A and B are shown apart, each in its own frame.
Chain A
Amino acid sequence: MAIIAASSVEKIFRQPKRQSGFGGALRSLFSREHTEVRAVDGISFAIEGGEAAGYLGPNGAGKSTMIKMMTGILVPSSGTVEVLGREPHSNRITNAAEIGVVFGQRSQLWWDLPVRDSFDLNRHIYDIPASRFADNLARLTSMLDMAGYIDRPVRQLSLGQRMRAEIAMALLHDPKILFLDEPTIGLDVVAKDVVRKFLAEVNRERGTTIILTTHDLVDIEEICPRLIMVDDGKLLFDGELRHLRTALGSRRRLKLEFGTDPGAITLKTAQLVTDEGLAKHFLLESQQTSILDVLTELGSGHDLKDVKLEEPNIEEVIRTFYQNKPALAGARP
């Protein structure tokens, strides 16, 4: 059974239209004009217990808005969100006890207190039995290598240390689902790596369901087998990362190098994209096409020196995908 189900979720933000200048400010006090932002636009998906799903999209795609709706601090304008069989907002307190949430850009630790004291407050808030708390604290402290700073006040920590503490804090009460909104934002390479490895392990070893938003594809590659891709509030792709290339119909690239320029070449199995004379770049027509098919069609007699096949780079695929999205919208597996 799905533990998170979103069906045709929409979130429209209405903001009073602001006009510039003092007169404008006065006028907007009385006007009823609004601008509408459709932050989430008809999104449906279901996530099973134990999954790790990455919610990928550029800035303003509606990722945070979706996380807020799943955690119950924002209500959808239409459609429904269910988490653990409940509507999260109307069951806020019950829901809150069973989930853990990390916001990359918002701290939940008490600024002036040592990290340990924030953890201890969480023990009270979530009513964690003392022995379980001690076990979890010991395990998280060693896994996230926090022993060196757990007794230091939060305000003295580096961003990487703080983020590890935030994640530990969200896991102390053994939540069934962990939501993370851009957990790696602003971290350096090493800190990112620690966070990614840890999250993958928590998901694998403890079976905690993980939903994380990011605009960094590497987060998804290392943590989440499942990718949900959004832009402009709309769902673009939902499936396994390794199926993305096929789903997007991205084609492999073939580079043929010749000793002497054979002149123009047209093939049925591959399409010429750039012709540099001695080097010619082709795109293979389909996933089934092999190099052999191309070489067979090309035939002998050309002064062929070298053949190079390139898998499309996934970042590049996604970039072209976003650039061509009007044409590709609806191209789902």
Chain B
Amino acid sequence: MRAASYPAFALTAFQSRLVYRNQVWASAFGDLVSIFARIAILTAAFAGAAQVDGITLPEMVTYALLSGPLLYWEYSRVLYDVGDAVRTGDVAVFLLKPLHYPSYLLSTHSGHFAFECVAIVVPVALIVGFTVGLLPPASLFHGLMFFPYWAVSWLILFILACLCGLLAFWLLTAFSLEWFLMAIMSLFSGAIIPLWFLPTPLATLFGYLPFAWISYYPAAVYLGKLDVTATWLHLGIGLFWLTVLSAAVLALWAKARHRLIVQGG
């Protein structure tokens, strides 16, 4: 095995998506509809007010569009990919090859993500930007920092999906886990209600849980809601969570592998 095989997985995943072009149209259309629906709800909620709790309507619209890959990325693909491999025992096929399964997953799904960015996220952002209007980043610094935050956001989401998928090893169902993950995500990540609208104690608590890095922080940083120090600090905390969660996935994978080689799945 050589490291070059991992980019090859990413590229292959990217190419394989070209086969299902109709799915792209469907996803892009679905995302557009849901974003416009959210914008309509926000506009109604603001009811002509210049701002609510210090947040303007254009800021909210921008937030709705940028609150992370959660909205645009089909993380359930990871969950089912892992869950099915584990449930059917197909994961053994990966043990027969000289490769590291979690790294394989990461490269494959980064390929899917790259595809969805190019085919769905950017076009949707452009359409929304030209029709409703997007705010520019609060500053060059905030605009640049948005990218590492987005990467952390995607990685945390990817790892949470892997964790849930691996749990299928013991719980034998990926379906209920998907609902569980989705519920947690919409509650804690700030995807639906930004943390700044929550009561302070809740916002503080949620602000330290890893889910906030999925939706809330990338968009909040872009909008300049965190000052320079806080931006660096929270990137650090995000990376910390990333490390902890990666360790958890690797530990769970080691446990699953052990079970697989002793009990045969």
A15–B262 CA distance with the chains assembled, in angstroms: 11
Q: Would you give the 0/1 interface string for B89-100, flagging 1 where the beta carbon is closer than 8 Å to chain A? A: 110110111110
> Given A96-B96, A108-B96, A125-B1: A74 and B261 within 8 A (CB)?
yes
A214 interface residue per 8 A CB criterion:
no
CB distance A125 to B264 under 8 Å? no
Residues of chain A at interface, number, CB under 8 A: 32
* Residues of B219-265 whose CB lies within 8 A of A: 260-264
A94–B97 CA distance with the chains assembled, in angstroms: 10
Count of A-B residue pairs with CB < 8 Å? 73
Q: How large is the interface on B (under 10, 10 to 19, 20 to 34, 35 or more residues)?
A: 20 to 34
CB distance A121 to B12 under 8 Å? yes
Query: In chain A, what residue has the closest Cβ to B258?
Result: A75
CB distance A73 to B95 under 8 Å? yes
CB distance B98 to A124 under 8 Å? no
- Interface segment among A109-117, A245-253, A264-272, A297-305: the answer is A109-117
CB distance A73 to B1 under 8 Å? no
> Given A124-B8, A127-B2: A112 and B19 within 8 A (CB)?
yes
* Residues of B160-201 whose CB lies within 8 A of A: none
What residues of chain A lie closer than 8 Å to B204, measured between beta carbons?
A: none
> Which of A74, A97, A106, A126 touches B93 (beta carbons < 8 Å)?
A106
> Given A121-B5, A121-B12, A125-B5: A97 and B98 within 8 A (CB)?
yes
How far does the Cβ of A185 sit from chain B's closest Cβ, in whole Å? 16
What residues of chain A lie closer than 8 Å to B15, measured between beta carbons?
A: 113, 117
How far does the Cβ of B110 sit from chain A's closest Cβ, in whole Å? 16
A86 interface residue per 8 A CB criterion:
no
* Residues of B71-109 whose CB lies within 8 A of A: 89-90, 92-93, 95-99
B154 interface residue per 8 A CB criterion:
no
CB distance B92 to A13 under 8 Å? no
- Interface segment among A64-72, A130-138, A284-292, A318-326: the answer is A64-72
B4 interface residue per 8 A CB criterion:
yes
B150 interface residue per 8 A CB criterion:
no
> Which of A65, A108, A121 touches B8 (beta carbons < 8 Å)?
A121
What residues of chain A lie closer than 8 Å to B12, measured between beta carbons?
A: 110, 113, 117, 121
B9 interface residue per 8 A CB criterion:
yes
CB distance A153 to B19 under 8 Å? yes
How far does the Cβ of A12 sit from chain B's closest Cβ, in whole Å? 10
A89 interface residue per 8 A CB criterion:
yes
> Given A93-B1, A93-B98, A127-B1: A73 and B263 within 8 A (CB)?
no
CB distance A92 to B95 under 8 Å? yes
B51 interface residue per 8 A CB criterion:
no
CB distance B93 to A103 under 8 Å? yes
B16 interface residue per 8 A CB criterion:
yes
What residues of chain A lie closer than 8 Å to B1, measured between beta carbons?
A: 93, 97, 125-127
CB distance B5 to A68 under 8 Å? no
What residues of chain B lie closer than 8 Å to A103, measured between beta carbons?
A: 93
Q: Would you mind naming 10 contact pairs between A and B with Cβ atoms under 8 Å apart? A: A68-B264, A73-B95, A96-B97, A106-B89, A110-B16, A121-B5, A124-B8, A125-B1, A126-B97, A127-B2
Extra inter-chain contacts (10) besides given A15-B263, A112-B16, A127-B1, CB under 8 Å: A68-B92, A72-B96, A93-B1, A96-B96, A106-B93, A108-B96, A110-B12, A117-B12, A125-B1, A125-B98
B residues adjacent to A (C-beta < 8 A):
1-2, 4-5, 8-9, 12, 15-16, 19, 89-90, 92-93, 95-99, 260-264
A residues adjacent to B (C-beta < 8 A):
13-15, 65, 68, 71-75, 89, 92-94, 96-97, 101, 103, 106-108, 110, 112-113, 117, 120-121, 124-127, 153
